[in-house]
Structure 1
Amino acid sequence: MVNAKVSTSHVDTAPYHLEGSEENVFISEKEGTTADKRDMARMGKRQETRRNFRHPTVIAFTMVILATWEAELATSVYSLGNGGTAGLIWGYLIVMTGFGFVAASMAEMASMAPTSGGQYHWVSEFAPPSCQKFLSYLVGWLGMLGWSTAAATVSYLSAKQIQGLILLNHASYEPKPWHGTLLIWAILFVCLVFNTFFSKTLPLVEGIIVILHVAGFIAVLIVLWVMADRAPVDVVFKLFEDNMGWGSTPLSVMVGLVGAASCFVGIEAGAHMAEEVRDAAYAIPRAMMWTWIGNGLFGWLMGITFAFCVKDTMSVLTTPLGVPFMQVFYNSTKSVGGATGLTCLMLVISLFGCVAVIATASRQLFVFARDKGIPFSSFFGQISPTYQIPLNAVYVTVVLVVLLSLINLGSSVAFMQVVSLGVVAMLTTYIISISCVALKRIRREPLLPSKFNLGKLGLPTNLISIMFLAFIWVFSLFPSVPRPKVSDMNWAVLGYGSVVTFSILYFVTRRHSYRGPVEYVRKG
């Protein structure tokens, strides 16, 4: 039994939550609350990291990591090219609605099993016994792929913004691929510093950045509405365009949905930090839902504003700055200084979003190694006694992103396919994990208790999620343009297939060493 008479100087001042008849009280920064300790014991896991995230700070962490309004501007080139301004606005709303069902489905699973393993752990617990081990193993590999490519994507987009800023202020500058790669490495160095030396202050840092995230949204919105020349309402909301030449406007709009989907992929990020959050079963699902609705609305309002400011779609898409939203900033403010200021604001948020992505990716790698899912598991699954974080996993995650950044030296178009690769991998993990819990509901099998229970709405929510995700999954594999050349092909399918094939082969050869998280769960 845990002694409830803890020193008042160590008691969390947040309201306690009850589970059954037992009061949920704070134990220590290491153990979290009594509910956390029970959950870890049930899952057969030993608490190794500090639980220094609380409910408000984990919301801040997930808000910054998703950074939807910033992502909407950064990926606007995809939606503008496929659907135009109307496609950007209404396509985003469709995707946001669909991801609401996805977020609710995963929030419920995160409350049932609050572990940093996330999807691969949930699959292990909820899949039919005949395929638990294999599906969990596959989802674990795809989860690592998805988060590693997410880190590569965010660092690349940040580097592009820096190059755009240099070009905006020095017209004679000629961007080179190796410049961008070196900038990615510089950004990764900053991420490494904050994920190691300043890891204990990460909740505070992300809390400060979320304030900038909200203030920046307001600042950019006001500047664009006050200073920009706006397009007519009918054009913005009703004009769907097939700028890439698909030959079908509806098809073009559907392809453009992938850009909006990339703004929501990673919505379960808080779950991968669950073992560093106090009262995780309560806090994580609510952080996911607040992130979906809060960031989602921010992104939609910014998308509408941005669409009003795009008077000439093709000139924005082909801007010499290489970053469409920077061209819109410049057109709106008619000032190099104004465009520079707004872009710097976004750059800071993007940089610390990358810090959070690296943290999440490293936790995914660590927990999968802890369950012996990858080669050299004992090395990747170590916790640093000094920093009380998976330090080796952080280092390896950074190295993986450095290797991915080398693709940019050969082709920036090929590197951007990393975005599709990450989206496809993550969507697959969502589809499989939600399908497993939906199957249990269809079979009327009992589910674990949850502090975020969907009740009778659970099965409809799960089924809508699966259908929506499958639809987006298909279009994530489409090339960026119709009738593509070799350089324009979406090579995400090759990377995706390679990882799936390798994981299957490794599973076959090492199937006796990987037991799956469910084998460690306390029965009864």
Structure 2
Amino acid sequence: MSAVKGLELTNRSTNSRDGHEPARSSVNGLSDDQELIRLGKRPILKRNFGFMSILGFSCTVLITWEGVLVGGPAGVIWDFLIVWTGTCSTFATIAELASMAPTAGGQYHWVAMLAPYSVRNFLAYVTAWVTVAGWQALSASSAYLIGTIIEGLIILTHPNYAPKPWQTILFFWAVVCFAVFINTVTSRALANFEGVILVLHLFGFFAVLIPLVYFGPHSNASVFVEFLNEGHWPTQALSFFVGLPAPVFCLLGADSAVHMSEEIQRASVVVPQALMLSLVINGVLGFAMILALMLCIGDVEAALGAIKTLGYPFLEIFVQAVNSVTGACLMAGLIVALGICSTVGGFAAASRMLWSLSRDRGTPFWKVLSRLDARTSIPIYTIGVTTFISMLLSLIILGSSLALVNITSLTVAGLYSSYLLSTGMLLWRRTTGVIKPHSDAITDLGTSQLCWGPWRIPEPFGTFNNVIACLYLVLILFWSFWPQETPVTPSTMNFSVLVFGGTVLFSGVWYFLRARKHFNGPVMEIEL
């Protein structure tokens, strides 16, 4: 099939499928379906997301202001600023890649495009699996986080309540079931759901911030220069850097919009815009909430002590601020509601990432997992696998909650390593000058055909930003493997390096033993 004929046939079949309206034209002259075809992919997912709905999706997956927790006052403030700046730099680079190739595969697809041919498949396979593992861990950790906050609220209202592991699992499962319900039964309304949640995300911020600032005790500006060393590290500087990855969790998952690319109208432009705007919105709201918490913290010792009693310091800070358990529960209830909604987006992104890898024959049982539901055109099987993995991980709580935390700590290492591989490859290619200016010409995975998308940072700022992003990612990855306190014991050890190393080792060994026989990078479903 010729390139032009392939484009025409796919447009006719897609536009008439299930009565679905034709894909809107992209700003570069190609339709959304043609954008996928030029990358060798068949457009089979419905594009239900527009700019506002995917912005809401991205903002609610991030839930930055909701995820801000209490640490050393100055450390939290300055760590957050460093992480926010570095994350913006990273995703400005990711946005360039998403504009070049807006596919659900995201990072591993880009690595396959940019890496040297001799190691292209291997690096793409490893990148794919650390990304899949990171998103599966993020989905499970989100459900666990919300479940334990619910338990903290129960303890706040009933101090004699002592949560048992099986109760924690039930809360975990309840959050998962809600996420699955929205992603399957009401999947057609997922885009509208995310748009509504964006409004709640913004409204909830002011509903929590105003009473906290108005009624809470006010500290002085010393929070900007007071550093706590709760981990008992030899120096304050070392304590600062060990705590640097903590704010990462508040800005993690911005690539969720990337993995929904094949369901977004005008994806090559809308995805980069949504990525950057969601980081700006969430960063501003998150920083404002940190300042409010630090300036209204009241009794610092009581807040830190709440880690052992309530699980989360912000619950005690809310009580001190409004002097009412009921008021504190209402404020925290908003955070719980938004956290549950965040899990919905997390499950959607995780399932799309797994589906994309299955489509490219990179998973066991890929023939089954790559199928879509005939009625809704959603990857129903990978949603089921994501649900099964989360529920299976939750059973670890029966033995040790610490073990589950160590497994879900793979989130930062998995996702950040995939970002580093993608941005590193882009930096290499852009410095060698092989990426051509943006055009509407048909391209494939060959480096001779690489061209920029419609969204790009002009030079020399693009290269400079790319370098900053790589340095930031290396910094965070290095410190993310450190334990949070000394002396290091089995209960305080950070096992993320073991979990991450095991994932990389397994994917590498499995690739050479079996996967290399059938995984050849992103499959060219349409020959150009």
Same fold (TM over 0.5): yes
* Aligned partner of 1:460 among 460, 464, 477: 464
Aligned to 1:28: none
SS at match of 1:130: helix
Identify the range of structure 1 (255-264 vs 100-109) with the bigger mean alpha-carbon deviation: 255-264
Q: Report the CA distance shift for 1:137/1:11 in structure 2 as closer, same or farther (over 3 A).
A: closer
AA aligned to 1:43 is: L
Aligned to 2:229: 242
Aligned to 1:223: 211
Provide the C-alpha distance between the structure 2 equivalents of 1:505 and 1:11, rounded to a whole number of angstroms: 45
Aligned to 1:301: 288
Aligned to 2:261: 274
SS at match of 1:404: helix
Post-superposition offset of 1:201: 0.5
1:145 pairs with 2:133: yes
Aligned to 1:128: 116
Aligned to 1:190: 178
Post-superposition offset of 1:328: 0.8
Q: Which runs of 5+ in 1 are unaligned?
A: 23-33
AA aligned to 2:33 is: K
* Aligned partner of 1:512 among 517, 521, 527: 517
Provide the C-alpha distance between the structure 2 equivalents of 1:462 and 1:44, rounded to a whole number of angstroms: 27
Aligned to 2:482: 478
Provide the C-alpha distance between the structure 2 equivalents of 1:217 and 1:179, rounded to a whole number of angstroms: 29
Please report the TM-score for the alignment, with normalisation by the length of structure 1. 0.91
* Equivalent runs, 1:15-34 vs 2, <5 Å: 18-19=27-28, 22=29, 34=30
Post-superposition offset of 1:412: 2.2
After TM superposition, what 4+ stretches of structure 1 lie above 6 angstroms from structure 2? 9-14
Contact 1:414 1:487 in 2 (8 A): no
Q: Report the CA distance shift for 1:363/1:339 in structure 2 as closer, same or farther (over 3 A).
A: same
Post-superposition offset of 1:251: 1.1
Contact 2:360 2:523 in 1 (8 A): no
Residues 242-274 of structure 1, C-alpha deviations (whole Å, 9 max, x = no match):
112012111111111111112222111100000
Provide the C-alpha distance between the structure 1 equivalents of 2:272 and 2:174, rounded to a whole number of angstroms: 34
Identify the range of structure 1 (400-409 vs 425-434) with the bigger mean alpha-carbon deviation: 400-409
Aligned to 2:163: 175
Post-superposition offset of 1:18: 3.2
SS at match of 1:86: helix
Contact 1:121 1:518 in 2 (8 A): no
Post-superposition offset of 1:315: 2.2
Provide the C-alpha distance between the structure 2 equivalents of 1:314 and 1:263, rounded to a whole number of angstroms: 23
Provide the C-alpha distance between the structure 2 equivalents of 1:210 and 1:418, rounded to a whole number of angstroms: 30
SS at match of 1:240: coil
* Aligned partner of 1:68 among 61, 64, 68: 64
Provide the C-alpha distance between the structure 1 equivalents of 2:197 and 2:127, rounded to a whole number of angstroms: 31
SS at match of 1:242: coil
Aligned to 1:59: 55
Contact 2:212 2:296 in 1 (8 A): yes
Contact 1:96 1:296 in 2 (8 A): yes
Contact 1:128 1:436 in 2 (8 A): no
* Aligned partner of 2:414 among 425, 445, 461: 425
Provide the C-alpha distance between the structure 1 equivalents of 2:378 and 2:520, rounded to a whole number of angstroms: 24
* Aligned partner of 1:35 among 31, 36, 44: 31
Aligned to 2:334: 345
Aligned to 1:30: none
Provide the C-alpha distance between the structure 2 equivalents of 1:499 and 1:243, rounded to a whole number of angstroms: 31
1:449 pairs with 2:446: no
Post-superposition offset of 1:362: 0.4
**Sequence identity (%):** 35
Aligned to 1:379: 368
Q: Report the CA distance shift for 1:414/1:317 in structure 2 as closer, same or farther (over 3 A).
A: farther
Q: Report the CA distance shift for 1:165/1:354 in structure 2 as closer, same or farther (over 3 A).
A: same
Identify the range of structure 1 (249-258 vs 116-125) with the bigger mean alpha-carbon deviation: 249-258
Post-superposition offset of 1:419: 4.4
Q: Report the CA distance shift for 1:389/1:405 in structure 2 as closer, same or farther (over 3 A).
A: same
* Aligned partner of 2:318 among 329, 336, 340: 329
Identify the range of structure 1 (475-484 vs 285-294) with the bigger mean alpha-carbon deviation: 475-484
Provide the C-alpha distance between the structure 2 equivalents of 1:344 and 1:263, rounded to a whole number of angstroms: 18
Q: Report the CA distance shift for 1:381/1:333 in structure 2 as closer, same or farther (over 3 A).
A: same
Residues 151-174 of structure 1, C-alpha deviations (whole Å, 9 max, x = no match):
111111100111011111112211
Q: Report the CA distance shift for 1:442/1:185 in structure 2 as closer, same or farther (over 3 A).
A: same
Provide the C-alpha distance between the structure 1 equivalents of 2:398 and 2:290, rounded to a whole number of angstroms: 31
Provide the C-alpha distance between the structure 1 equivalents of 2:296 and 2:402, rounded to a whole number of angstroms: 26
